[in-house]
């Protein structure tokens, strides 16, 4: 694969189709990876529905200044579509977007993609044994429905009064507009999570004044990013095995981080010490260091990577305010402690509606029950992939299918293996309808709960990994990468009802 470029080129949508063996909703990394594998297996009767005008998912949507991966580039790429041309150890977002577009083009995925076609309603027809998926461009009927929409799709706006009365530009980090007038302006950033630690240093170099409202201080460790040399890229291109070896080394470095999430004392102390040493090296003793010292267990929330976040907060025109946003008024914001900040531009780095997927109310399974109703107390799925009451439907990058310590792409690939096996089973001549049993889903959910018990995520700190309705860990897999592969990487019809 050639070195990536960052320009946005037009993507041609697939011809309209009214029926298919498989309909995939979403053309991000999960959808592109799945269709690549389906095509390589000779399964080509596939339609991909993408709501936007381009593929790429998260990396299409997140274009804010400073956006980049926080997983090493080679480990974040699909293992079956390696890329020799990454410019840095942590790729900028535009490079990842271009990589996904290139994979989609080179693997023929674009031949199946219908752009500008959000799945408005997905309804199971028990008589036909098919899914009816309605879009603004027409209906698609398919034997198999795969939801590959991911979790980071719908920005979460803060539930504070007056947000619409600000009067100036208000922009979420996941809906960045390059025309927002931040240069020389008084800019406020709400949030100090993964997007904010990348966005704040970039804005600090452009704004006249920058105020950062912090609800909770994150743990931040050194990023240690660097460019790959031309010689390194040439070596990767000449020997694909070198990429495989690098991926294995990078995974081996990250995997022990799971021990800290299990609250193993030595591992937790090492991770916490690394983060606090980084803070102490970059911020001298005083009120700023105190405000930036986390008050929760390390690993409960995402541990962030940055070499320039702390230095940005020390700049004379930048102010960290350790209090959450309480309300918004014309040209100003008010923190929970009553402090008022006059602003020209308001930037919301407030994350996503991850635990309550926006597609769930639009999916109707057996008996007309919606996926949102099934998930009223939090997301569940057998093998993180199949849901009782929703025949011939599978999820990729859904419940308990992310990692807090390493690359979630490894879990996506395991789920792709599972779905590929299920699709082969369902598209065989005379194949029955498959619906996972309630008992299998309940047993898997109980296993997740048992694995999560005692981990750092269940210590009571507020994080997007835990569903606020049930208090269950619904976003993360509470085990190791290999444990997920072993449990969920191979399809078997045994736990399914045959209808």
What per-residue confidence (pLDDT) applies to 276? 98
Q: What's the whole-number mean pLDDT along residues 467-483?
A: 95
And the tokens for 138?
Answer: 């027409």
Q: Can you list the pairs that 203-206 forms with residues at least 24 positions away whose Cβ atoms lie under 8 Å? A: 203/65, 203/347, 204/312, 204/315, 204/317, 204/318, 206/65, 206/182
What per-residue confidence (pLDDT) applies to 296? 94
The per-residue pLDDT for range 107-159, each reduced to its tens digit, is: 999 999 999 999 999 999 999 999 999 999 899 999 999 999 988 888 999 99
Assign residue 319 a region (left: φ > 0; alpha: ψ between -120 and 50; beta: otherwise): beta
3 state DSSP class of 238: helix
Q: How far apart are CA 124 and CA 144, in angstroms?
A: 10
The per-residue pLDDT for range 148-192, each reduced to its tens digit, is: 998 888 899 999 999 999 999 999 999 999 999 999 999 999 999
Answer whether residue 15 shows pLDDT above 70: no
* Domain locations along the chain: 19-154+353-498, 163-218+286-348
Q: Across all residues in the chain, what is the average pLDDT? A: 94
Q: How confident is the model at residue 461 (pLDDT cuts 50, 70, 90)?
A: confident
What per-residue confidence (pLDDT) applies to 4? 33
What per-residue confidence (pLDDT) applies to 18? 87
Q: How far apart are CA 367 and CA 385, in angstroms?
A: 20
What per-residue confidence (pLDDT) applies to 10? 40
| pTM of this structure | 0.94
**Crossing angle of helices 481-488/409-426, nearest 10°?**
0
Burial label for 446, CB within 10 Å (0-12, 13-18, 19+), is: exposed
Q: First-to-last CA distance in the chain?
A: 44
Architecture of domain 19-154+353-498: 3-Layer(bba) Sandwich (3.50)
Superfamily for the 163-218+286-348 domain: FAD/NAD(P)-binding domain (3.50.50.60)
Residues in a beta bridge with 394: 146, 386
The per-residue pLDDT for range 250-295, each reduced to its tens digit, is: 999 999 999 999 999 999 999 999 999 999 999 999 999 999 999 9
């Amino acid at each position: 694969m050639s070195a990536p470029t960052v320009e946005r080129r037009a993507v041609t949508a697939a011809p309209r189709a009214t029926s298919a063996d498989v309909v995939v909703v979403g053309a991000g990394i999960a959808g592109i990876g799945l269709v690549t594998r389906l095509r390589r297996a000779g399964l080509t009767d596939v339609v991909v529905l993408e709501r936007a005008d381009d593929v790429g998912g998260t990396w299409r949507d997140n274009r804010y200044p400073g956006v980049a991966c926080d997983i090493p580039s080679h480990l974040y790429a699909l293992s079956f579509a390696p890329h020799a041309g990454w410019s840095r150890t942590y790729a900028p977002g535009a490079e990842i977007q271009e990589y996904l577009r290139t994979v989609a083009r080179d693997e023929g995925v674009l031949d199946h993609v219908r752009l500008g076609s959000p799945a408005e309603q997905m309804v199971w027809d028990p008589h036909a044994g098919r899914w009816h998926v309605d879009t603004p461009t027409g209906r698609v009927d398919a034997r198999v429905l795969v939801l590959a929409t991911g979790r980071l799709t719908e920005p979460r706006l803060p539930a504070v009064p007056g947000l619409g009365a600000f009067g100036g530009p208000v922009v979420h980090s996941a809906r960045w507009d390059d025309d927002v007038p931040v240069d020389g302006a008084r800019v406020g950033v709400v949030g100090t999570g993964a997007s904010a630690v990348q966005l704040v240093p970039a804005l600090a170099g452009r704004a006249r004044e920058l105020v950062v409202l912090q609800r909770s201080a994150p743990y931040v460790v050194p990023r240690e990013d660097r460019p790959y040399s031309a010689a390194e890229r040439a070596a990767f291109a000449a020997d694909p095995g070198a990429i495989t070896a690098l991926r294995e080394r990078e995974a081996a470095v990250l995997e022990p981080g799971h021990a800290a999430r299990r609250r193993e004392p030595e591992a937790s102390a090492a991770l916490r010490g690394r983060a606090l040493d980084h803070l102490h090296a970059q911020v001298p003793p005083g009120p700023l260091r105190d405000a930036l010292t986390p008050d929760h267990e390390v690993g409960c929330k995402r541990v962030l990577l940055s070499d320039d976040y702390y230095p940005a907060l020390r700049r004379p025109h930048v102010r960290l305010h350790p209090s959450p946003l309480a309300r918004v008024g014309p040209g100003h914001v008010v923190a929970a402690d009553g402090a008022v900040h006059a602003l020209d531009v308001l930037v919301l780095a407030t994350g996503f509606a991850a635990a309550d997927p926006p597609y769930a109310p639009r999916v109707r399974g057996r008996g007309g029950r919606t996926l949102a109703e099934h998930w009223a107390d939090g997301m569940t799925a057998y093998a993180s992939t199949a849901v009782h009451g929703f025949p011939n439907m599978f999820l990729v990058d859904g419940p308990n299918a992310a990692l807090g310590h390493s690359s979630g792409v490894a879990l996506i690939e395991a789920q792709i293996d599972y779905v590929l096996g299920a699709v082969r089973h369902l598209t065989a001549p005379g194949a029955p309808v498959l619906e996972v049993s309630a008992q299998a889903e309940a047993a898997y959910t109980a296993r997740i709960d048992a694995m999560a018990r005692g981990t750092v995520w269940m210590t009571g700190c507020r994080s997007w990994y835990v569903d606020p309705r049930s208090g269950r860990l619904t976003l993360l897999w509470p085990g190791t990468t290999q444990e997920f592969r072993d449990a969920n990487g191979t399809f078997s019809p045994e736990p399914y009802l045959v209808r």
